[in-house]
Chains A and B, each alone.
Chain A
Amino acid sequence: MNGEKSAWQRFLASDFFYDFKRSPVTIVSFVIVVTLILMAILADLVAPTNPFDPGSLNLMNGFTPPMEPNAFTGETFLLGTDDQGRDLLSAIIYGLRVSLFVGLTAVILAMFIGVSLGLLAGYRGGWVDAVIMRIADIQVTFPSILIAVLIFGVARGLLPPDLRDELAITVLIVAIGLSEWVPFARTVRGTTMVEKEKEYVQAARLIGLGSSQIMVRHILPNVLSPVLVIATITLALAIIAEATLSFLGVGAPPTEPSLGTLIRIGQDFLFSGEWWILLFPAVTLLALALSVNLLGDWLRDTLNPRLK
């Protein structure tokens, strides 16, 4: 109609972007999520200090309240410091990095498992479907955090002690990933069952394409939009799951504290008056999880034509 447009111009003119512009809550959530992610990625540049460099720590700075100069050193910290004199803002930024990394990788893992199994169950049907979906049914009867704790416990039991701390993060990712694949599998299975009856799939079968090619090349691209929505909502769940595990002391080790670890540490000081050590990591976690969740809700409504 009006010549070739760049992908970016097309995006700006799309209904998707139009919906986005009209939803202030979504814009705010998006800004928060992007800011937090950028902070996490650029932690080395953004954070005032490196909380993991023992050389930069001064025990004299311990328990400095936010925005107040320390009684001994006269240094001021935006969000205060913890018992070891670590700058809380820096600790949160680095903690955010761990939380987001674990959350994102766990979701990618869950998505990979769930989408693959869902595609297979939906396309093959029969006993393959029955077996996969019964496993899913059994899994959802347990709270996912319990499954994560179980996997975590088993993995730690199997690993040699000297590798435990090193692999703690990996174990955490696997535990959360394995506990969140079910919603992906269920949704993808349902959509696949609808899509495989469509005539474009018949046309692909007609030229002799194999099942795996049809699943990956034809069906997969058509089942992805609900997956995107679930991925976003699961990301919020995974971040909270990671925080919960770390809070319980079975997650990220103190050498690589995540938001959950920071909250656990902060909890010890809540009743002795050092409220900020708990509050700021908790608020950050809340802001991150809530924004991601709101984005997910908005995506679901926008991508679902029935609600329009």
Chain B
Amino acid sequence: MDEFIRIEHLNQRFDLSEPWLARMIYRRPKKFLDAVDDVSFGIERGKTYALVGESGSGKSTIARMAVGLLTPTGGRVLIDGQDLHDGSLSVAEQRRIRQRLQMVFQSPYASLNPRWRVGSILAEPLRVFRLVDGPQAEQARVHELLEQVGLSASDARRFPHEFSGGQRQRISIARALASKPDFIVCDEPTSALDVSVQAQVLNLLKQLQRDLGLTYLFITHDLAVVRVMAHRIGVLKSGKLVEEQATEKLIESPQSDYTRMLIRSAPRIHRAAS
């Protein structure tokens, strides 16, 4: 198996203790919450792995650790065998790994800086990673990115508020693609969108995966969405991985009660006659 990313015994413990003085006065112990508790899984190159869970299951916390936005309190994230959170890596090495990891966020409103033009938003990663030479090449690449996600080159001059939710999510995707990553974490990328627009964005993500060979970690609460998006699914509950299986197998014959309950509760338009 050719795994791009391997997550090993990942742990994230949050300190929820009261302030020191309050603890001393009321003699309360420190309080911790294991938001992510010993989670391990791997994602094959070019495939999509979906983490499904309800609110508070720790899925977004794992997403943030997988791209290096948050340092785990235990366990490792291996990118092509290299530990992402290894403190001994040189700055250049870290930069090289970072460039391969990207993320598409949930909110189409908060994920784009409202004061920046779309062109500058897309150009930023190009400059940071020194991927283009000169303003002309930069502009050409920005236009290429916009067209890749179904927008037009002239949109580079506009501000985020001039776009609809679905279009903003396309811009977010274009920004994620700018650094030519191998791996993109999609954190509930369509849960704030209307259904008809959700379909557009999901189809775009799938097409980009086919064209560019991207590996996805797809975070969602919606089992219906993962059915068409993911090759493999992991079900999370209270920070623990309850079950992990190839998509169809998991949905057709779930092993745990929790997964069964999730599948049963998903509202559906056409319920199979029972």
Q: Looking at the complex, which of A22-30, A113-121, A196-204 is the stretch in contact with chain B? A: A196-204
Interface string of A149-177 (1 = CB under 8 A from B): 00000000000000000000000000000
Q: Looking at the complex, which of A35-43, A57-65, A89-97, A205-213 is the stretch in contact with chain B? A: A205-213
- Whether A222 pairs with B114 at a CB distance below 8 angstroms is yes
- Whether B69 pairs with A206 at a CB distance below 8 angstroms is yes
- Whether A207 pairs with B128 at a CB distance below 8 angstroms is yes
Q: Looking at the complex, which of B102-110, B229-237, B263-271 is the stretch in contact with chain A? A: B102-110
Contact A203 to B103, CB < 8 A, known contacts A208-B98, A222-B113: yes
Contacts of B250 in A (CB 8 A): none
Complex Cα–Cα for A107 and B106 (A)? 40
Contacts of A124 in B (CB 8 A): none
CB-nearest residue of chain B to A221: B115
CB-nearest residue of chain B to A213: B128
Residues of B100-149 contacting chain A, CB below 8 A = 101-103, 105-107, 110-116, 124-125, 128-129
- Whether A203 pairs with B111 at a CB distance below 8 angstroms is yes
Q: Does B67 contact A (CB under 8 A)?
A: yes
Q: Does B95 contact A (CB under 8 A)?
A: yes
Contacts of B69 in A (CB 8 A): 202, 205-206
Q: Does B76 contact A (CB under 8 A)?
A: no
Contacts of A200 in B (CB 8 A): 110-113
CB-nearest residue of chain B to A204: B124
Complex Cα–Cα for A199 and B115 (A)? 14
- Whether A199 pairs with B98 at a CB distance below 8 angstroms is no
Complex Cα–Cα for A218 and B113 (A)? 7
Complex Cα–Cα for A205 and B129 (A)? 13
Contacts of A222 in B (CB 8 A): 113-115
CB-nearest residue of chain A to B114: A222
Contacts of B95 in A (CB 8 A): 208
Contact A199 to B105, CB < 8 A, known contacts A208-B95, A222-B113: yes
Q: Does B221 contact A (CB under 8 A)?
A: no
Interface size on A, as a range, is: 10 to 19
CB-nearest residue of chain A to B129: A207
Complex Cα–Cα for A188 and B64 (A)? 27
Q: Does B12 contact A (CB under 8 A)?
A: no
Q: Does B240 contact A (CB under 8 A)?
A: no
- Whether A203 pairs with B107 at a CB distance below 8 angstroms is no
Q: Does B59 contact A (CB under 8 A)?
A: no
Q: Does B190 contact A (CB under 8 A)?
A: no
- Whether A207 pairs with B106 at a CB distance below 8 angstroms is no
CB-nearest residue of chain B to A201: B113
Contacts of B220 in A (CB 8 A): none
Min CB distance, B2 to chain A, in Å? Answer: 25
Contacts of B64 in A (CB 8 A): 202
Complex Cα–Cα for A132 and B111 (A)? 29
Q: Does B48 contact A (CB under 8 A)?
A: no
Contacts of B99 in A (CB 8 A): 207
Min CB distance, A233 to chain B, in Å? Answer: 23
- Whether A202 pairs with B105 at a CB distance below 8 angstroms is yes
Interface string of B50-80 (1 = CB under 8 A from A): 0000000000000010011100000000000
Q: Does B179 contact A (CB under 8 A)?
A: yes
Residues of B13-72 contacting chain A, CB below 8 A = 64, 67-69
Contacts of A209 in B (CB 8 A): 128
Q: Does B175 contact A (CB under 8 A)?
A: yes
Min CB distance, A260 to chain B, in Å? Answer: 39
Contacts of A204 in B (CB 8 A): 124
- Whether B106 pairs with A199 at a CB distance below 8 angstroms is yes
Name B179's contact: one of A198, A205, A207, A221 (CB within 8 Å). Answer: A207
Complex Cα–Cα for A204 and B69 (A)? 10
The residues of B with any CB-CB pair to A shorter than 8 Å are 64, 67-69, 94-95, 98-99, 101-103, 105-107, 110-116, 124-125, 128-129, 172, 175, 179
Q: Add 4 more A-B contacts to A208-B98, A209-B128, A222-B115 (CB < 8 A).
A: A199-B111, A200-B113, A207-B129, A207-B179
17 contacts between A and B (CB under 8 A): A198-B110, A199-B105, A200-B111, A202-B103, A202-B105, A203-B105, A203-B172, A205-B69, A206-B68, A207-B99, A207-B124, A207-B125, A208-B94, A208-B98, A209-B128, A221-B116, A222-B115
